[in-house]
Structure 1
Amino acid sequence: MRFALISLEEPANGADGSLRVSGRAIYRWQAAMALACGCERVLCWAPREIAAPLALQKEVEGRGSRFQPVGDLHRLARIVGPADELLVFSPGLMIDEDRLAHFVEEGHAIATIPAQEGGEQGFDRIDLTRLAAGLMFVPGSLVAQLAQLPDDCEPGGSLLRIALQSGVPTRPMASEGSGVYRIVRSEQDSRAIEKGWFERDWAASSGPRRGLSRTLTDLVGRRSVHDERASGFALGTLALGTLAATGLAVGGYAAASFGAGIVAALGGETYRRLRSVSKAPGTTAKPRFAAWPAIFVDVLLAAIVAMALDEGAVAASDRIFLATALVLALRLADRDWGAALADRPVTAAMLGLGAGIGLLLPTVQVLIVVCLILALHFGTRATQITAD
């Protein structure tokens, strides 16, 4: 059986496992990463004066694994058997999920960093050039040796010394702060991780030309991502924007309805990004569910266009056709420079301007034609690159 050991004690290096990253305490992230790496039980080192957090217990048991607080070194030695394995996290350690999985797959080892990177922050020194990086994967047979030590010893440092004496190999980690590995000691460190996650999410899911969405969702998201309730507020913004846009469109206020549509689009994109960066390891959403905010906003935009077009000048079937054609054309053009035009808040702003000056129908028609031209251009260029 594979165990994970998470400690609630504050070590000498100033790390703090209770600090939050994207609304969740670091020890909860560690538990989620351990479970994603195949750990079946999570042991929480919580001395008698420290109560194990209920949120951490729910994090583990909610995913079908067992959670067990441990405050006695000798009891820890009895729980982990000789045939078991133990993954040990230092308080405050945040590591990339893929890097951790690779570390575990490579077998038992002690993670290390160069001595100059640890400075005088209290890391355990291995030799003149290396420090322990706060992560170990050791065989259960070594844990039994804890029974020979005084009961008030700290398990992390004790296991490190036992592992080194037993010949467990060391393995270098990426530089601290590289985005792959970091010891979190302050709110500034937490926010640096969140900023990196936002940048990575944007690079993976959105075009670089989407200036308006990026600017506004960064402004809101980066300030609120620290709060676990932030995604709920963003979802509420999407709902309120949808209700307002629908009501204004039905009431005949076309320009204002597109303004409310901008709010809904930004709320949906902020919700998607917050959910993406706050998702626990091993719980990746299926693509069709991850994309639902964008699909919902497109349906809303099409509905507003269909209701806002002049009933006297455009037949009902034509209004539905134009609204559907616009959304499909936007999706076809949503790449490279076309992403700037297909950015839904930008599209809604142009439609609102057209509605405000009484030229909504020509605006819709021009947008459809321009998007199709861009889609044809990008498709032709991609074909040429493939042929070359």
Structure 2
Amino acid sequence: LKVTPVRQAADLMAIVQADDRIVLVADGLRAGGTHYAAIARPGSPAILVTGDTVLTQGFERIDATRRWGGLAAISQPMVSELAAMPGEWDMMLTLLRMAVQSGARRLYCEPALFEQGEIAIVADRPTAALIEQSSLQQVEYGGMGLGRSAIMMPLVRLAGPLLVKSPNTARYLPYVTALLWIAVALLAAGGLAAAGALVAVLGGLGLAAMRFLSAFRAESAAQDRARDLIRTFALLLLALFPWLVALAGRDHAMPPFAQAALAPCLAAGILLARALYEDMGEKRRFHWLLPDADQAWVMLAPALLFGIAPLMFAILPLLALLQILLWLRLARRPAAS
């Protein structure tokens, strides 16, 4: 993204075309994507306006009862007109007044949005810190699954400010996460099944952190593929986990039938849940109920520590099917109006 600073209308005229739309943003404004999308919609110039209240006193007055909401879309001829005007003018305010005088469309937003922090002016560090924390808490869980929604993402969001602080985190996290899952395979092959399951929980945290960071940074296709590859390897590892543990043992024997058959069934149930989740499209609801690999590893780790893994491998596929059936029943109910 190329950034070109402009200090006067003539500088702006040099970089805009006749059919360009220019968005004016108040200094320090923080607003949601829906507000930018509404302003940038093709059509005539537009101004975001709000009520004249105590919370909006810092914005330019539009008329007797309205103030500017911090966003406006103008056209190139307005910039050309300003550039032709003699003398020095405040570029932002003058262009805003030109838009008002030209009868630009007014898009109204409630003053309550300023009280709730959805639209705000970042004037100092404490305000910026509060807005950052609010943004971190509003990030979507990013996918289906009880384990991710109830355990992994809440833990990741607690560390959110540290994760987004440095770009190096997003750069090195895929490598760390991949190494964790390789360690799971090596521990299982070495006969340390319980230790492998515990490291798998950390690997699940790594995948959740990668998904969390993708909400704040533009991901390349390679980064997206890397996350999918690690997730696929983790699911394959879950399906083959009893085989790795048994074949790496002293007798190099096949695992008990229950574990050998039910572990792949569990992985297949999780794949089925993901396919159903993706087919729902924009109407996804109650997706936190669905089974996922994080839930399986969290339940398997203590079972392996206390020697009840066969029982847990029998329970988990049945529990996954029960979760899917419950989700199907709830998700197909009409949404409350």
Separation (CA, whole Å) in 1 of partners of 2:14 and 2:68? 25
Cα distance change on mapping 1:207 and 1:85 into 2, 3 Å: same
* 1:184 maps to 2:138: no
Name structure 2 gaps, 5 residues minimum: 278-284
Deviation, 1:242, is 1.4
Deviation, 1:84, is 4.4
Separation (CA, whole Å) in 2 of partners of 1:313 and 1:360? 18
Residues 113 and 173, structure 1, Cα contact 8 Å, conserved in 2? yes
Deviation, 1:292, is 5.3
Deviation, 1:263, is 0.5
Separation (CA, whole Å) in 2 of partners of 1:198 and 1:84? 36
1:4-23 mapped onto 2 (5 Å cutoff):
none
Deviation, 1:287, is 9.1
Choose 299-308 or 130-139, whichever is displaced more. Answer: 299-308
Separation (CA, whole Å) in 1 of partners of 2:202 and 2:121? 37
Residues 144 and 292, structure 2, Cα contact 8 Å, conserved in 1? no
Aligned to 1:276, the other structure's residue is in SS state coil
Cα distance change on mapping 1:289 and 1:253 into 2, 3 Å: closer
* 1:308 maps to 2:245: yes
What is the one-letter code of the residue matched to 1:357?
F
Residues 82 and 142, structure 1, Cα contact 8 Å, conserved in 2? no
Deviation, 1:142, is 1.5
Aligned partner (choices 83, 90, 95) of residue 159 of structure 1: 95
Separation (CA, whole Å) in 1 of partners of 2:5 and 2:204? 44
Deviation, 1:383, is 9.7
Aligned to 1:262: 201
Cα distance change on mapping 1:218 and 1:80 into 2, 3 Å: closer
Residues 183 and 196, structure 2, Cα contact 8 Å, conserved in 1? yes
CA offsets 1:349-368 (integer angstroms, 9 cap, x no match)? 33222222333233212222
Name structure 1 gaps, 5 residues minimum: 1-58, 61-66
* 1:171 maps to 2:107: yes
Aligned to 1:157, the other structure's residue is in SS state helix
* 1:250 maps to 2:189: yes
Aligned to 1:277, the other structure's residue is in SS state coil
Separation (CA, whole Å) in 1 of partners of 2:9 and 2:287? 61
Cα distance change on mapping 1:192 and 1:304 into 2, 3 Å: farther
Separation (CA, whole Å) in 2 of partners of 1:109 and 1:384? 40
Residues 298 and 327, structure 1, Cα contact 8 Å, conserved in 2? yes
Aligned to 2:143: 205
Deviation, 1:107, is 3.0
Residues 333 and 339, structure 1, Cα contact 8 Å, conserved in 2? no
Instruction: Tell me the TM-score normalized by structure 1.
Output: 0.67
Cα distance change on mapping 1:304 and 1:231 into 2, 3 Å: farther
* 1:356 maps to 2:293: no
Residues 237 and 263, structure 1, Cα contact 8 Å, conserved in 2? no
Aligned to 1:352, the other structure's residue is in SS state helix
- Say how many residue pairs are matched: 317
Identity of aligned residues (%): 23
Deviation, 1:86, is 2.2
Cα distance change on mapping 1:302 and 1:131 into 2, 3 Å: same
Separation (CA, whole Å) in 2 of partners of 1:150 and 1:87? 24
* 1:107 maps to 2:69: no
Residues 87 and 135, structure 1, Cα contact 8 Å, conserved in 2? yes
| Structure with the largest fraction of strand | 1
Separation (CA, whole Å) in 1 of partners of 2:325 and 2:60? 60
Aligned to 1:167, the other structure's residue is in SS state coil
RMSD: 3.9
Cα distance change on mapping 1:340 and 1:351 into 2, 3 Å: farther
